[in-house]
Copies of this chain bind each other. A is one copy, B any other.
Amino acid sequence: MKRTAFFISDGTGITSETLGHSLLAQFEDVEFTQITLPFIDSIEKANEVVGQINISANEDNSKPIIFDTIVNHDIRNVIAQSKGFLVDIFGTFIKPLEQELQQPSSYTVGKSHSISEDTGYKHRIDAVNYALDNDDGARTRNYIDADIILIGVSRCGKTPTCLYLALQFGIRAANYPLTEEDIEDFSLPKVLKEHKRKLFGLTIDSERLAAIRTERKPDSRYATHRQCEQEVEAVESIFRQSGIPYIDTTHFSVEEISTRILVEAGLERRLQ
């Protein structure tokens, strides 16, 4: 079964898209073509969108599902005239919230206001710079400023996780790859021992690791199943012996890994 879904916003579309994805994921037997249309902030653009929705409706012979977070009444009313099935995200929840908070909302007034980044900007940029400067064991002298130091074998997901922690939460995350030499004697490198309470381990299924490494360096010893298995076993053993908390990244997205680390390490976000 196939349907089309539109995520429409006068801003980035991140809210309508995030909620839309989550809701549509509850319908496993439907295959959705998903289209995000951000910055729909004029009647003219809204009319174009209606055209696009109606073409989809005719082609699919069913109503496209519309998730919309447009604030302006007039623009929203244009979208509402389309042949789509409207999931009115703001319209549904704002009224009860206004009653509970006993306040009128900007939405009801029709006044869009941009969310200022000023307080968050610096934390975020500092965290991104920190992650880049302290990626892949490049430097270890800045570990004193780290909120967390991710450790694990090469290609287990450390770098994307550090970057996500930085961008999403403003967390200063360094990462250090445990290489063959590091793990030869089944103990932590000295430079890490000094920062033990900041360490957090990542591990991964060795078959998955071999597949990822093969992608990067085909036919290398580094990518063999035997090598991956040995490294993963050694690293997990170090984590357990040293009492370092760790998670298996194999079946998790970068978002899930990052959020789990935040919870399990008890980290406080610098960005809300």
Binding site for B on A (CB under 8 A): 1, 3, 11-15, 18-19, 21-23, 25-30, 34, 38-39, 63, 65, 69, 71, 85, 87, 89-90, 92-94, 96-97, 100-101, 103, 105-107, 113-115, 117, 120-122, 124-125, 128-129, 132, 135, 157, 159-160, 163-164, 167, 212, 215, 251-256, 259-260, 262-263, 272
Which residues of chain B come closer than 8 Å to A167, judged between CB atoms?
160, 163-164, 167, 254
A contacts with B: majority SS: helix
CB-CB under 8 A for A25 and B132, given A14-B18, A103-B30: no
> What are the residues of chain B within 8 A of A254 when measuring CB–CB?
117, 124, 167
Out of B15, B18, B29, B259, name the residue touching A103 (CB < 8 Å): B29
CB pair B259–A13 under 8 Å, yes or no, is: yes
Is the CB–CB distance between B1 and A97 below 8 Å? no
Q: In chain B, what residue has the closest Cβ to A251?
A: B114
Question: Chain B nearest CB: distance from A200 CB in Å?
Answer: 16
Q: Which of B12, B29, B90, B120 contacts A26 (CB 8 A)?
A: B90
A85 closest partner in B (C-beta): B100
The 5 closest A-B pairs by CB, nearest first: A26-B105, A12-B259, A15-B22, A117-B253, A18-B18
Task: Output the least CB separation between A28 and chain B (Å).
Answer: 6
Closest to A128 in B: B160
